[in-house]
Chains A and B, each alone.
Chain A
Amino acid sequence: MLEQKLHPLNFIILPLLGIVAIFSATQIIQYAIIFIIMLINFSLLCKRPQLKVLLWFNLSLIPPLLALFISSYLFASSSELSNYSLTNHTHSRLWLSTILSLRLYLLSLISVGFMLHLPQEQLILDLIQRKIIRVKIGYSFLAVFNAFAFMKQEFTRIQIAYKMRFRKKWLSPQILMPLLVAAARYAHHLSISMYTRGINQDRSYHQSIIKFGLYDSGLILLNCVILSIVIFTK
Chain B
Amino acid sequence: MSTPIYQVENFGFHYPQSNYNLKLDGTFIIKQGECVLIQGASGSGKSTLLAALKGLIPHLINGKVSGKILYNNQDITGLNEQQLLDIGYLQQNPDSQLICKDVYSEIAFGLENQGFAATLINEKITKIADDFKLSHLLTRQVSELSGGEKQKINLLAILVMQPQVLLLDEPTAFLDPESAHEIIAMLQQYIKKSTVVIVEHNHYYLQQIVNKVISIDDNGQIKQQNTTQIVWNQVLPNLKSISPHPKSILLELRELNFSYKNSSQLLNKISLSVNSGEVTAITGRNGSGKSSLLKLIAGIIKTQGQIFWKQQDIAEINYQILWSKLTLLWQNPEAHFIYNSVNEELEYNHETLTMFDLVPQCEQNPYSLSEGQKRRLSLAIALNLKPRLILLDEPTFGQDYEHKLQLAQLITELKNRGMSFIMVSHDQDFINALADHKYHLSNGSLKLC
Give residues in A with beta carbon < 8 Å to B.
121, 139, 142-143, 145-147, 149-150, 154, 157-158, 160-165, 167, 169, 174-175, 177-178, 181-182, 185-186, 189-200, 202-208
A103 CB → nearest B CB, Å? 36
Residue from B89, B109, B118, B385 within 8 A of A165 (CB atoms): B385
B335 within 8 A of A: yes
Q: Are B110 and A198 in contact (CB under 8 A)?
A: yes
In the complex, B349 has a CB within 8 A of chain A = no
Contact check, A206 vs B108: say whether CB atoms are below 8 A apart.
yes
- Chain B residues with Cβ below 8 Å from A199 are 113
Contact B324 A191 (CB under 8 A): no
B-to-A contact residues, CB < 8 Å: 51, 54, 56, 59-60, 81-82, 84-85, 87-89, 91, 93, 95-101, 104-105, 108-118, 121-122, 142-143, 154, 157-158, 161, 295, 298, 300, 319-320, 323-324, 327-328, 330, 332, 334-338, 367, 381, 385
Which B residues touch A160, using CB under 8 A?
295, 298, 300, 328, 330
CA distance A186 to B300 in the complex (A): 26
B337 touches A177 (CB 8 A): yes
| Identity of the chain B residue whose Cβ is nearest the Cβ of A191 in the assembled complex | B60
Contacts of A158 in B (CB 8 A): 335
Contact A203 B112 (CB under 8 A): yes
B311 CB to nearest A CB, Å: 22
User: Do the beta carbons of B59 and A195 come within 8 Å of each other?
Assistant: yes
B447 to chain A, nearest CB (A): 27
Given contacts A121-B101, A195-B81, A207-B105, 18 further A-B contacts (CB under 8 A): A154-B335, A160-B330, A161-B328, A162-B338, A165-B338, A167-B320, A167-B324, A182-B335, A190-B99, A192-B51, A193-B98, A197-B158, A200-B81, A204-B118, A204-B121, A205-B112, A206-B108, A208-B118
CA distance A182 to B367 in the complex (A): 11
Interface centre among A165, A202, A206 (most CB of B within 10 A): A206
Q: Which 9 A-B pairs have the closest CB atoms?
A: A189-B96, A198-B113, A197-B110, A193-B97, A196-B89, A206-B108, A167-B320, A186-B96, A198-B85
Give the nearest-CB partner of A143 in chain B: B99
Which residues in B have their C-beta under 8 angstroms from that of A190?
Answer: 96-97, 99
Do A149 and B100 have beta carbons less than 8 Å apart?
no
* Chain A contacts for B338, CB-based, 8 A: 162, 165, 174-175, 177-178
Cβ contacts under 8 Å, A157 to chain B: 330, 332, 335
A195 to B61, CA, bound (A): 11
Which residue, B99, B161, B319, has most C-beta atoms of chain A within 10 A?
Answer: B99
